């Protein structure tokens, strides 16, 4: 039995690297340095909980395969999870981990110089969560002849249109999310401790469905209650669920790190008519967005379809209504590329995936009934299958 079941063929990784190099040439880069763990994984297959220390994947126009650079004790993970040649897996010295004055990227700079790339036009991920200010300072100091520039999330954009295998994982993630959401809702009753509901979610996310196991999710379950539903990113406590209150669940399913998020709003006890009305408008708005999400439409047109429904119902949403999704690691399941909002003129293509996060957060409460979807010729194909309404638990 193999130590690790690789999610994609070597040929698919080669195709990704070739596409990335083409984008690099167009953007004027010789060398790309990626510290986003999702980009590192997408380019090479590397998978390990090692992103709490500096690490990177390098792509050079004249090098056939990328170079993995990371902590010495994680180098074996690179050998196990990737098909990279052994000399392209380069560990840094253990003494550099959390060193007060020296830094792993001092050795990365040395590596780049030794490979003859010290004068390259270098694109770095200035907005990646794990490319710190200190990483950049040590790298630029160590490569005084390099020409550094923000690469504009070049690899993130290369990931936008999913392959058939990627779409398979996205659909499986949707099935896992469906199971987790339905089990969480079934667990919710007045008096049940909030953390018991969350435990049910974690169990379902990990166990998966139909023999398909789940991965850890990039964002923990979000579960605001009562007035907390007027803001989207609250988590949970060990307090019991109240007898009469509004609550919200935002979770995701993850399969080989491909994510399908979903939000549902639940009312414990008989809901006021006003909440029911907003929920109906939200669902209708999502339907309008999904119908618009066809190849050739723009991201802002999907958002406009949603907003038109809200306006007819006397509502509005100031924040974006959605974003692209796919391969992700903590702390975010978004790809940081396309946003469903005004002025985003990205043209949709088959195989792009989005989370239409249709939350409406008012002064004292909020409603969100969202969907993850794939762009198809027939519109947005929903990845999850959970009741699309305000869910009432008596």
Residue in the block written with tokens 């992700």: 328
How much is the average pLDDT of 149-163?
98
Q: What is the mean pLDDT of residues 382-387?
A: 98
Instruction: Indicate which CATH number applies to the domain containing 305.
Output: 3.90.230.10
Query: Given this model, what pLDDT does residue 316 score?
Result: 85
Domain co-membership, 153 together with 194: no
Q: Is residue 226 part of a domain?
A: yes
Domain boundary among 158, 182, 202: 158
Say yes or no: 220 and 113 in one domain.
no
The predicted structure's pLDDT at residue 3: 79
Average of pLDDT values for 166-171? 98
Residue 379 lies in a domain: yes
Q: Count of CB atoms within 10 A of residue 177's CB?
A: 30
Distance CA 80, CA 45 (A): 10
Q: What is the pLDDT of residue 5?
A: 94
In-domain check, residue 197: yes
| 274-295: average pLDDT | 97
Query: For 350-370, what is each residue's pLDDT tens digit?
Result: 999 999 998 899 999 999 999
Domain boundary, last residue among 131, 158, 185: 158
Confidence of residue 318 (pLDDT cuts 50, 70, 90): confident
- How high is the pLDDT of residue 35? 98
What average pLDDT does range 187-194 have in this prediction? Answer: 98
How many beta carbons lie within 10 A of that of residue 25, not counting itself? 11
- With beta carbons less than 8 A apart as the criterion, state whether 306 and 358 touch: yes
* Percent over 90 (pLDDT), the chain: 97
pLDDT-derived band at 1, boundaries 50, 70, 90: low
Range of the domain at 389: 164-393
pLDDT band at 93 (very low <50, low <70, confident <90, very high): very high
Whether 344 and 215 map to the same domain: the answer is yes
Residues 143 and 260 in one domain: no
- Quick one: 112 and 151 in the same domain? yes
**In the chain, alpha helices (H):** 10-27, 37-44, 75-81, 104-114, 133-142, 154-158, 164-187, 194-207, 273-292, 299-312
**What local confidence, expressed as pLDDT, does residue 394 receive?**
85
In the predicted model, is pLDDT for residue 212 greater than 90? Answer: yes
Model confidence at 68, pLDDT cuts 50, 70, 90, reads very high
Q: Is residue 2 part of a domain?
A: no
Count of domains observed in the chain: 2
> Inter-axis angle of helices 299-312 and 273-292, to 10 degrees?
150
Are the beta carbons of 350 and 379 closer than 8 angstroms? no
In sequence order, what are the beta bridge partners of 371?
A: 356
Structure tokens at 32: 């790309």
Closest residue by Cα to residue 386 from 371, 367, 376, 368: 371
Residues 216 and 354 in one domain: yes
Enclosing H/E stretch for 1: none
Secondary structure element (H or E) that encloses residue 67, with its range: strand 67-71
Residue 317 in this model has a pLDDT that exceeds 90: no
- Of 158, 173, 188, which one is at a domain's C-terminal end? 158
Helix (H) or strand (E) holding 335: strand 334-340
Same domain, 114 and 196: no
For residues 150 and 172, state if they share a domain: no
Whether residues 180 and 283 share a domain: the answer is yes
Got the DSSP string for 35-65?
Answer: --HHHHHHHH----S-TTS--EEEEETT-SS
Q: Is the domain of 136 the same as that of 171?
A: no
Residue 204 domain-assigned? yes
- How much of the chain exceeds pLDDT 70, in percent? 100
Residues whose CB is less than 8 angstroms from the CB of residue 301 and which lie 6 or more positions away in sequence, other chains included: 292
Q: Are residues 228 and 141 in the same domain?
A: no
pLDDT of residue 358: 87
pLDDT of residue 184: 98
pLDDT for 278 equals: 97
Residue 100 and residue 137 in one domain: yes
**Residue 171 resides in a domain:** yes
Q: How many helices (H) and strands (E) does the chain have?
A: 10, 16
Would you say residue 204 has pLDDT above 70? yes
226-250 average pLDDT score: 96
Q: Is residue 248 part of a domain?
A: yes
Q: Tell me the residue length of the chain.
A: 394
3 falls within a domain: no
Q: How confident is the prediction for the chain on average, in pLDDT?
A: 97
């Amino acid at each position: 039995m193999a130590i690790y079941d690789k999610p994609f063929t070597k040929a698919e990784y080669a195709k990704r690297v070739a596409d990335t190099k083409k984008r690099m040439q167009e953007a004027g880069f010789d060398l790309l340095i990626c510290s986003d763990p999702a980009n590192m994984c997408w380019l090479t297959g590397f998978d390990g909980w090692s992103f709490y220390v500096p690490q990177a994947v390098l792509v050079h126009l004249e090098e056939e395969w990328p170079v993995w650079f990371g902590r010495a004790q994680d180098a074996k993970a690179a050998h196990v999870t990737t098909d990279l040649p052994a000399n392209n897996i380069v560990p840094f010295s253990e003494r550099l981990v959390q060193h007060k004055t020296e830094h792993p990227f001092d050795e990365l700079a040395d590596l780049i110089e030794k490979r003859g790339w010290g004068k390259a036009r270098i694109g770095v991920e200035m907005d990646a969560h794990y490319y710190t200010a200190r990483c950049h300072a040590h790298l630029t100091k160590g490569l005084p002849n390099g020409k550094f520039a923000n690469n504009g999330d070049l690899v993130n954009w290369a990931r936008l249109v999913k392959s058939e295998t990627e779409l398979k994982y996205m659909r499986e993630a949707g099935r896992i999310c469906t199971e987790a959401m339905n089990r969480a809702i079934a667990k919710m009753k007045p008096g049940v401790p909030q953390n018991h509901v969350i435990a049910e979610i974690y169990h379902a996310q990990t166990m998966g469905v139909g023999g398909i196991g789940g991965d850890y999710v990039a964002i923990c379950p979000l579960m605001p209650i009562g007035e907390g539903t007027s803001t989207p990113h609250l988590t949970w406590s060990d307090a019991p669920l109240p007898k009469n209150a509004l609550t919200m669940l935002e979770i995701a399913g993850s399969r080989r790190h491909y994510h399908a998020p979903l939000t549902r709003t639940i009312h414990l006890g008989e809901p006021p008519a006003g909440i029911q009305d907003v929920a109906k408008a939200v669902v209708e708005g999502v339907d309008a967005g999904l119908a618009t999400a066809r190849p050739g439409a723009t991201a802002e047109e999907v958002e406009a379809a949603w907003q038109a429904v809200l306006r007819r119902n006397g509502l509005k949403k100031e924040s974006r209504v959605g974003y692209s999704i796919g391969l992700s690691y903590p702390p975010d399941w978004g790809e940081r590329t396309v946003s469903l909002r005004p002025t985003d003129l990205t043209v949709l293509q088959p195989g792009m995936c989005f989370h239409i996060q249709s939350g409406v957060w008012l002064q004292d409460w909020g409603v969100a009934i969202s969907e993850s979807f794939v762009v198809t010729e027939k519109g947005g194909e929903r990845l999850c299958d959970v009741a699309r309404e305000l869910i009432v638990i008596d």
